[in-house]
Amino acid sequence: MYDVKIRYEDGRRSKVRDEIEDLGEACAYVLQLAEELSDAAADRDGDLAKWVEIFRDERLEISVSVVRGGLVASNGARKSRAG
């Protein structure tokens, strides 16, 4: 089973969903949540979400950064992050 947590700038974590059976389902949920949180991060100050993480048995499996402006361009195409 996989758990999804949000990690904030101050290091604090909060669980948002638990007991997801499939890693693919957990990944899809994390990517969607990171996208949603990126909009919130652009609009507010204070407790900003920095990562959305997937854990399995209290072990970190995957961490996705919450990127200001989002992971997907407004037309649905992926944004280039290459430097």
> Domain for residue 78, yes or no?
no
Residue 40 lies in a domain: yes
Residue 20's pLDDT is what?
Answer: 96
Quote the domain boundaries for residue 57.
2-61
For the stretch 4-18, pLDDT in tens is 999 998 899 999 999
Q: Per the domain annotation, does 76 fall within a domain?
A: no
Tell me the pLDDT tens digit for each residue of 5-62: 999 988 999 999 999 999 999 999 999 999 999 877 554 555 789 999 999 999 999 9
Does the pLDDT at position 82 exceed 50?
A: no
- CB–CB of 17/3 below 8 Å? yes
Burial of 72 (0-12, 13-18, 19+ CB in 10 A): middle
Structure tokens at 16: 């948002």
Q: Tell me 72's DSSP state.
A: B
Residue 30 forms part of a structural domain: yes
Mean pLDDT over each residue of the chain, to the nearest integer: 84
Dihedral angle over CA of 38, 28, 72, 39, nearest 10: -20
Query: H/E element holding 31?
Result: helix 23-43
Q: What domain count does the chain have?
A: 1
**Which pTM value belongs to this model?**
0.77
